[in-house]
Structure 1
Amino acid sequence: MSARLFCQYTQTLPVSSVHPELVANELLIWNIDTDLYLNRVPLLEKVLSAEEKNRACRFHFKRDTNRFIIRRALLKILLAAYQGCQAQEVKFVTGTHGKPHLAENKDLHFNTSHSDSHAIIALSLHQLGVDIELAQPDFDFGPVAEVLFSKAELDFLAASTSPIADFFIIWTRKEAFVKATGKGLENHVQLLSCLDGVQLIPSLLTTTADHWNINTTALAAGYLLSIVTQAASVPINTTLVTFNDNLLLNR
């Protein structure tokens, strides 16, 4: 049986002001404006390993260095909170295709994405992928679409009354899918259609018969978010969670 992909657009996602328990049918997402934590960079940097600090220093602009420190530190703080350990104890390993995993917890899955100052951190007990993009109204999407979009997607964009918005919807879905499966965009992703509804996944893009779901939603300030999860017998509930700054008090 061919693997299938179900794509849909959701107007809003439920929001929680507390950090819920992570159970089998839950997917938790934090949408963080990293620039709100610029004054915490000296504190957050203490969470990073020596290798992570070296990575931060490789950025050309101080702004990008600070944003990396914030993203990485908040990820480790959240993972530590859900594992019952210290953030400094969170260790990562890299999979075959470069996708990071927790070194000592195979059951807790995470994925991250960032665009400009906004960062997404997603946690689940299921394999997942996320992508956030700022839908730039003047973006010249043609060259990208011609290389990485399917014929059905190109035809859809040609007939669309809002082609830029629709481009970013499709683009975030493709990015999130390859992040969930751990494959790169160069791996025949133009064969995959991410239009609304049920789509067949080419065998070149997956090594299993697993089915996948993609949910796309609009966030504030012109950002689009796509979330990919493996289809499960019990529907997975997705919740946007407000980051609890109290987690920083013990840093």
Structure 2
Amino acid sequence: MSGQLFCQFNDSLPICTFHPELTGNEILIWDIDTDLYLTRIALLKKVLSIEEKDRADRFHFERDSNRFIVRRAILKILLAAYKGCGIKHLKYIRGTNGKPQLAGNNELNFNTSHSNNHAIIALSRHQIGVDLEFINPDFDIIPVAEFSFSADEFKFLAGSSNPLKDFFITWTRKEAFVKATGSGLNDHLQHFSCLNGRQLIPAQLQAEEADWNLDTVELSQEYLLSIAARVTTEPLQSLLVNFNEDLLHDAIQECV
């Protein structure tokens, strides 16, 4: 069955300066600078499972290991807070094509993305996916675009006045959509377009008919974020939340 993508670029997202409730029509985009919490690694590592600690220890560079610990610990802290349980009671399962989700819970959905020290955790009551990318000026975009972009997207890129930025806009949208659906579409990236406006999703790419919003925002001059969300009867609003030390302290006290 077919569906549609509604793609748009936003100058910014509304910002929350407090720990917000998660209502039925919101997507909370938690923005985290992992390097701000490197002095709390010992405490944060206590939040991780044995498997997660083993994974952290397998990183070649200590910096990457520490960033993983921060990302995973804060994810668990937020999930426990919004689910209303202790961190030790969180259980993960793998959905279709390996997309992680909470066991026994169909109301709290999450998705994550990271680049360098920048991490995003998205929470919603609806099906979502996010992709964050560093706009790397040294990245060779042409080989990836030739392999992954549709004919319309490649034509648009060839005529763009800012091909690097437009490449990452398109790429983050594709990745966010694939992550939202959990449908393993990585081999079919050329078969759908994510240019601004309304785009058709070929019927063979969806098990059931659904429409999706794909919103892209420039978090800074160096980072782009795309958010994919399944269209619902009520419009969804994305809110940007800056994670901070106070939230970390309060959450650990409440959830561990």
Q: TM-score normalized by structure 2?
A: 0.95
Q: Which amino acid counterpart does residue 65 of structure 2 have in structure 1? A: T
Could you tell me which amino acid in structure 2 is paired with residue 156 of structure 1? F
1:120 — aligned with what?
A: 120
Measure, in 2, the Cα distance between the counterparts of 1:168 and 1:184: 20
The residue aligned with 1:133 is 133
Aligned ranges 1:1-251 → 2 under 5 Å: 2-249=2-249, 250=253
Structure 2's unaligned 5+ residue stretches are none
Distance 1:245 1:89, change over 3 A: farther
- Residue by residue over 1:121-170, the C-alpha shift from the partner in whole angstroms, topping out at 9 and shown as x without a partner, is 00000000000000012211111000000000000000000000000000
Q: Which amino acid aligns with 1:234?
A: E
Asked whether the equivalents of residues 7 and 215 of structure 1 are also in contact (C-alpha less than 8 Å), the reply is: yes
Query: Are the aligned partners of 1:110 and 1:123 in contact in 2 as well (CA < 8 Å)?
Result: yes
Aligned length: 251
Moved over 2 A (4+): 183-187, 244-249
- The sequence identity of aligned pairs, in percent, is 59
Which whole-Å CA distance do the structure 2 matches of 1:220 and 1:147 have between them?
28
Q: Distance in 2 between matches of 1:109 and 1:197?
A: 26
Match of 2:179, SS? helix
**Displacement, 1:187?**
2.9
| 1:85 CA displacement | 1.3
Counterpart residue type for residue 93 of structure 1: I
Could you tell me how far apart the structure 2 residues matched to 1:145 and 1:238 are?
Answer: 28
Measured after TM superposition, the shift of residue 221 of structure 1 is 4.7
Q: C-alpha distance in 2, partners of 1:85/1:27?
A: 20
Distance in 2 between residues matched to 1:138 and 1:212, nearest whole Å? 32
The one-letter code of the counterpart of 1:148 is: S
Deviation, 1:248, is 3.0
What do the CA deviations read for 1:203-236 (whole angstroms, capped 9, x no partner)? Answer: 2321111100000000125100000000111110
Paired amino acid for 1:66: N
Q: Structure 1 counterpart of 2:220, which letter?
A: A
What displacement does 1:184 show? 2.8
Query: Comparing 55-64 with 70-79, which one deviates more in the overlay?
Result: 55-64
Give the TM-score of the pair, scaled to structure 1. Answer: 0.97
Q: How far apart are residue 68 of structure 1 and its match?
A: 0.6
- Which residues of structure 1 form unaligned runs of 5+? none
Aligned Cα root-mean-square deviation (Å): 1.2
CA contact (8 A) 2:178 2:186 kept: no
